[in-house]
Amino acid sequence: MCTLPKGHHEETLCKDSRTRNISQIGAGSLLSRQVASFATRARINLKPMSFQPQPGATTYAPLPQLHSSFKVQDPKDFNERVKNSKVPVIVDFFATWCNPCRTLGPRLESVIAEKNGKILLAKVDIDENTDIALDYDVGSVPALIAIKDGKIQERLVGLQDTDKLRKFVDKVVASAATGTSK
């Protein structure tokens, strides 16, 4: 079983102790010969690759990673990152034991990522932050609440398909751009 150290995000990659790198496998081992044989048949180069720009080519610095979603740690964190946000925030109230929540999460994250920072996603685990869920009258999960300038703009409850999520997010972004609220 693989566990993450405290403070690491779920995007962090971890390796099982049984996982081995090809370079860690002995050169004469059966597995090593099988990998080399497959690579030859599939015309795969197993040598490490490195990127060398062409002479005279323009190179660009990598784009900064936009963190469009975050997990709320406590009510103080919620106030700072959601209520005081300059951009609209969709709050995803979820529970780890909720299967529809597990399905909705990746769909919502992909739709939010398409907006390139025009909207943020805050994830609130209702078991860890019961007070926040009660403050926003969350009676069932998954529940999505759009908040702009500390005020509720829209609400959506239950598992939704990607198209409906995209319409919901587009509506929130558009109302924030025009300055209208519910």
Q: Which of 140, 127, 65, 62 is nearest to 96 (CA)?
A: 127
Q: Strand runs (DSSP E) across the chain, as ranges?
A: 69-71, 89-94, 120-125, 143-148, 151-157
How confident is the model at residue 121, as a pLDDT?
A: 97
Listed by start position, the domains of the chain span 18-48, 69-178
Q: Would you say 91 and 58 are in contact if contact means Cβ atoms under 8 Å apart?
A: no
Residue with tokens 């529809």: 100
How confident is the model at residue 28, as a pLDDT?
A: 54
Higher pLDDT, 2 or 68: 68
Q: Which of 151, 88, 144, 160 is nearest to 117 (CA)?
A: 88
Structure-block tokens of residue 179: 């300055």
Q: Would you say 90 and 119 are in contact if contact means Cβ atoms under 8 Å apart?
A: yes
Least confident of 35-39, 52-56, 94-98, 120-124: 35-39
Residues 12-35: tens digit of each pLDDT: 334 443 444 444 445 555 555 555
Q: What is the mean pLDDT of the chain?
A: 77
In the chain, the percentage of residues whose pLDDT exceeds 90 is 57
How confident is the model at residue 180, as a pLDDT?
A: 67
User: What is the CATH code of the structural domain delimited by 69-178?
Assistant: 3.40.30.10
How confident is the model at residue 97, as a pLDDT?
A: 96
* 116 pLDDT higher than 60: yes
Residues noted as catalytic: 98, 101
How confident is the model at residue 80, as a pLDDT?
A: 95
Residues 32-70: tens digit of each pLDDT: 555 555 555 555 444 554 555 566 655 554 444 446 899
End-to-end CA distance of the chain: 47
